[in-house]
Structure formats: structure tokens, C-alpha cells
């Protein structure tokens, strides 16, 4: 299933809204798509780009939400060579640098090579450094009539307020559960644990298909086992680190975040059915029993903070991060845990 397949029914309403604006020539100069990681923001942005660059879009708008996939523009887009499409993303580092935005500004100033709309995607927009953000702001303040800019962000609050104010904002939320399960049934015909996977993914079907592979699912059991031992004083921090250090750092922190979120939820409700990771619920209850709610909240916030740092830092020191987090968790002190690991 490619990024430009229009097979995500939860995007349909927003797609129809933007289609209507495009056909009526009332499309905003720039939009900001926000939502959680794996909510499908970038997938939808790419869908929009192909849709609006298709030679037949206006003719097909009332008939189908998909591009024709047969015109010259569609073929150029699929080949990655469409002259009226630009995708700005971090390259050597995890930042979008000033030279990249200057290149975008120069491209915006050019005339469309196919005598139509030009579309640019900036993703993730929060990875612009101060210089590049200010440069993009000038571009947004002096819009080009034939360019549509899509900013994509998981942390829109970190963007300059002036950038946000110059974009029409759309939140990509969770699909209806029944809709998500139906889609997963078609996307993963060889599995029968859709409901568990969707719960683990926090209701995000794309997280199931893009993240929850067998390695990730197995890693959850290793992490929760070590956390239960650590919180129950049954192991040392360094011994526990040795058990989890082979896990990909983003997966590891995402799993910690999910486990501590469930533990906080169980602490508040004392309802085991409230735990999303239902297959490891007993271990999560064990973690809650050995800790305080202040500890659990601090651990959840620390996991989230470390995950944000890893996603925005080139070549983070994984060993240092793991040891710092595990030692702080072993201390049992919420104030110590609240310190960032990097």
C-alpha cells in the first residue's frame, strides 16, 4: 500500500472540504496539519499534493476523491520527478536548515512548469531551526498566488505563533473505532488480533501497520518485565539496561510511555479493563502496586520528553540515555525522574 493510495476513509471529510475549496479557487495559501505521531498527517499531505497536482482533479472532484493516476502529472508524481512539487524534510541532521528553506523560497518564486498549482510540504515543521522558521515566515507573509504550502507537525505548539496564525489549521484525529478495525481487517488479513493492536496503538490504525511489528510486540514484554522488576526492587538498573539495550531506542521509549500511561490510568480507575496493553495488564498492575501516582506521572512525562529529544537529535547516545533513565527510575524519586535524560 503506497503513500498515495486513497484508502484511508477517515480522511474523507477533510479531503472533501479541501476539494471544495480547491474547485472554488478558495484554497488557502498554507495549511497546518497537526496530530499525533502515526496519525497519518504526512500520508494525508502527500495525498493532497498528488490530488491537487493531478491534471484531472477539478473534473473528477464531484465524482471521486482520488487522482486519476493516469495523467502526466500523476506519473511524474509517482516517479518523484514532478517539477511543481517540493518536499522539505531534515536531511543530514534532524533539523530543517536555513538553506533548505531558502531553496523553497526560490522555488516558490518560480512559475509552474505545468501551468497549474505548485504544492510544497514541510515536514516535520517543528524541526525548523530559528533561522529557517523566520525565513519561512517571510514566505508565508508574502504568498505566491499559485503555491499551496502544507506544514505537518506533531508539536504545533513549538512553532512560531506567527507561522501558526498564517496557516489554516486542521487536526488529524482518531478515526471511529469501527472504521479503524474494518480498515485493519483489510490491511492485515492474516492477523486476528486487530482490537488488541489498535488498543496498544492508542486508536491509531497507521501505528499498527507502521510500528507494531512482531519485534515491537516482543519488546513490550521484555520492557514491562524489566520495569516490574525494577519498581519491585528485584534487579539493579545496570542489569536491567543490559536486558533492554538491544531494543530500538524510539521503540523502547514509546513502549515505556505506553506502559506508564496505562499504569496511571489503572491507578486512577482501579479497572484492569482500562489498560490498553491488555495482554501485559498483570505486569502493569504490578508496577502500579509498587509505586506512587507521582512516580508514574513523572516516569510517563520523562519517557515523553526523552522520546521528543531522540526524535529531534542526531545520533543520540542510546547507552547514556538508557542508563540515566533506568537509574532515575530505580531511585523511586519523582523529582529525580523528572530530569531529562539527555
Q: How many domains does the chain have?
A: 2
62 band by pLDDT with thresholds 50, 70 and 90: low
β-pairing verdict for 85-88 and 147-153: unpaired
Q: Is residue 148 domain-shared with residue 264, that is, in the same domain?
A: no
Q: What pLDDT, in 10s, does the model give residues 103-146? A: 999 999 999 998 789 999 999 999 999 999 999 998 898 887 78
Q: Residue 135: name the closest of 111, 165, 103 by CA.
A: 103
Q: What pLDDT, in 10s, does the model give residues 169-204? A: 999 989 999 999 999 999 999 888 989 999 999 999
Q: Does 153 reside within a domain? A: yes
Q: Does 190 reside within a domain? A: no
Contact, 255 vs 303, CB < 8 A?
Answer: no
Given this model, what pLDDT does residue 143 score? 80
CATH number of the domain where residue 148 is located: 3.40.50.300
Asked if the peptide bond before residue 124 counts as cis, ω within 30 degrees of 0, the response is yes
Q: Is residue 319 domain-shared with residue 243, that is, in the same domain?
A: yes
Percent of the chain with pLDDT over 70: 95
Contact, 82 vs 53, CB < 8 A?
Answer: yes
Q: Is residue 103 domain-shared with residue 243, that is, in the same domain?
A: no
Higher-confidence residue of 68 and 41: namely 41
Tell me how far apart the alpha carbons of residues 119 and 77 are, in angstroms, rounded to a whole number: 11
Q: Is residue 118 domain-shared with residue 63, that is, in the same domain?
A: yes
279: exposed, middle or buried (Cβ count in 10 Å: 0-12, 13-18, 19+): middle
Among 171, 204, 229, identify where a domain stops. Answer: 171
Helical spans, DSSP H, in the chain: 12-23, 41-53, 57-60, 72-79, 98-108, 130-141, 161-165, 177-187, 194-200, 205-210, 214-231, 237-244, 249-269, 281-289, 293-312, 318-331, 334-337
Average pLDDT over residues 240-245: 90
Domain extent, residue 232, equals 213-337
Q: Does 183 reside within a domain? A: no
Q: What pLDDT, in 10s, does the model give residues 251-303? A: 999 999 999 999 999 999 999 999 999 999 999 999 999 999 999 999 999 99
Given this model, what pLDDT does residue 61 score? 64
Q: Does 292 reside within a domain? A: yes
Q: Is residue 157 domain-shared with residue 21, that is, in the same domain?
A: yes
Q: Is residue 159 domain-shared with residue 16, that is, in the same domain?
A: yes
Q: Is residue 39 domain-shared with residue 146, that is, in the same domain?
A: yes
Q: Is residue 274 domain-shared with residue 145, that is, in the same domain?
A: no
Q: Does 267 reside within a domain? A: yes
Q: Does 203 reside within a domain? A: no
CATH number of the domain where residue 273 is located: 1.20.272.10
Contact, 77 vs 49, CB < 8 A?
Answer: yes
Q: Is residue 165 domain-shared with residue 280, that is, in the same domain?
A: no
> Considering the entire predicted model, what is its pTM?
0.86
Given this model, what pLDDT does residue 342 score? 46
Average pLDDT over residues 48-70: 81
Neighbours of 206 (CB within 10 A): 23
Among 141, 171, 201, identify where a domain stops. Answer: 171
Q: Does 125 reside within a domain? A: yes
Among 171, 203, 237, identify where a domain stops. Answer: 171
Q: Is residue 13 domain-shared with residue 155, that is, in the same domain?
A: yes
Contact, 146 vs 112, CB < 8 A?
Answer: yes
Reply yes or no on whether the pLDDT at 1 is more than 60.
no
Amino acid at each position: 500500500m503506497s503513500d498515495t493510495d486513497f484508502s484511508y476513509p477517515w480522511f474523507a471529510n477533510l479531503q472533501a472540504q479541501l476539494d471544495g475549496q480547491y474547485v472554488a479557487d478558495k484554497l488557502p495559501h498554507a495549511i497546518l496539519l497537526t496530530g499525533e505521531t502515526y496519525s497519518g498527517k504526512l500520508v494525508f499531505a502527500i495525498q493532497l499534493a498528488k490530488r491537487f497536482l493531478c491534471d484531472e482533479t477539478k473534473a473528477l472532484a464531484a465524482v471521486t476523491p482520488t487522482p486519476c493516476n493516469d495523467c502526466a502529472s500523476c506519473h511524474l508524481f509517482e516517479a518523484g520527478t514532478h517539477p511543481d512539487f517540493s518536499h522539505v524534510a531534515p536531511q543530514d541532521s534532524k533539523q530543517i536548515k536555513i538553506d533548505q528553506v531558502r531553496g523553497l523560497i526560490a522555488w516558490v518564486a518560480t512559475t509552474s512548469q505545468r501551468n497549474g498549482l505548485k504544492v510544497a510540504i514541510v515536514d516535520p515543521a517543528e524541526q525548523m531551526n530559528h533561522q529557517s522558521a523566520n525565513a519561512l515566515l517571510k514566505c508565508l507573509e508574502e504568498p505566491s498566488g499559485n503555491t499551496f504550502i502544507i506544514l505537518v507537525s506533531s508539536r504545533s505548539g513549538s512553532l512560531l505563533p506567527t507561522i501558526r496564525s498564517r496557516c489554516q489549521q486542521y487536526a488529524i484525529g482518531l478515526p471511529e473505532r469501527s472504521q479503524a478495525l474494518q480498515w485493519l481487517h483489510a490491511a492485515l488479513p492474516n492477523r486476528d488480533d486487530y482490537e488488541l493492536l489498535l488498543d496498544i496503538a492508542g486508536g491509531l490504525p497507521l501505528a499498527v501497520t507502521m510500528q507494531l511489528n512482531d519485534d515491537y510486540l516482543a519488546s513490550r514484554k521484555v520492557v514491562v518485565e524489566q520495569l516490574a522488576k525494577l519498581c519491585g526492587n528485584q534487579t539493579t538498573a545496570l542489569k536491567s539496561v543490559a536486558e533492554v539495550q538491544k531494543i530500538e531506542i524510539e521503540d523502547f521509549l514509546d513502549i515505556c510511555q505506553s506502559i506508564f500511561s496505562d499504569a496511571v490510568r489503572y491507578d486512577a480507575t482501579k479497572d484492569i479493563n482500562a489498560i490498553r496493553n491488555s495482554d501485559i495488564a498483570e505486569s502493569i498492575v504490578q508496577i502500579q502496586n509498587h509505586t506512587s501516582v507521582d512516580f508514574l506521572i513523572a516516569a510517563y512525562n520523562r519517557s515523553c520528553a526523552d522520546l521528543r529529544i531522540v526524535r529531534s537529535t542526531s545520533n543520540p547516545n542510546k547507552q547514556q540515555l538508557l542508563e540515566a533513565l533506568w537509574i532515575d527510575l530505580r531511585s523511586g524519586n519523582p523529582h529525580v525522574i523528572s530530569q531529562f535524560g539527555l
